[in-house]
């Protein structure tokens, strides 16, 4: 398979509030979106039992916490673990991923 047909078709730039709203409307289902973290929203997740969960870039969430709340990285990670990751809000609980910095076809 050549590299042109093996591309992800995602726009990973920082979405504006308008772009985030358009993203949500495009899928026709409401997503639970975290206030203040639009720059970390990277997509919509789904699984066999769940069709509508917002997906966030973990590193960007930590960066936002550090910048907006003037936290150290240790404080931001601890805050995230207890207050964000530890908050279960049902089937629409957002998902947080560590995005690969470089994808490689090497094994």
Q: pLDDT per residue over 84-104, tens digit each?
A: 988 888 777 899 999 877 655
* Edge-to-edge order in the sheet of strand 95-97: 41-45, 53-57, 95-97
C-beta neighbour count of 78 within 10 angstroms:
13
**Rounded Cα gap, residues 95 and 82, in angstroms:** 15
Residue 104 belongs to some domain of the structure: no
**Rounded Cα gap, residues 25 and 51, in angstroms:** 14
Residue 7 belongs to some domain of the structure: no
Residue 3 belongs to some domain of the structure: no
- Who contacts 35 (Cβ-Cβ below 8 Å, separation ≥6)? none
Structural domain range at position 38: 12-97
Residue 107 belongs to some domain of the structure: no
Q: Has this prediction a pTM greater than 0.85?
A: no
**Residue bearing tokens 């990285």:** 73
3-state SS assignment for residue 79: helix
Residue 44 belongs to some domain of the structure: yes
Report pLDDT digits (tens) over 35-63.
899 899 888 888 887 777 889 999 999 99
- Total domains in the chain come to 1
């Amino acid at each position: 398979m050549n590299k042109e047909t093996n591309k992800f078709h995602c726009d990973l730039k920082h979405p504006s509030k308008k772009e985030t709203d358009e993203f949500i409307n495009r899928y026709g289902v409401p997503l639970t979106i975290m206030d203040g973290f639009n720059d970390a929203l990277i997509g919509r997740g789904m699984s066999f039992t769940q069709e509508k969960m917002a997906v966030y870039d973990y590193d960007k969430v930590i960066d936002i916490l550090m910048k907006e709340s003037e936290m150290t990285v240790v404080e931001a990670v601890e805050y995230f673990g207890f207050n964000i990751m530890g908050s279960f809000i049902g089937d629409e609980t957002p998902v947080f991923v560590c995005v690969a910095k470089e994808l490689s076809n090497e094994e």
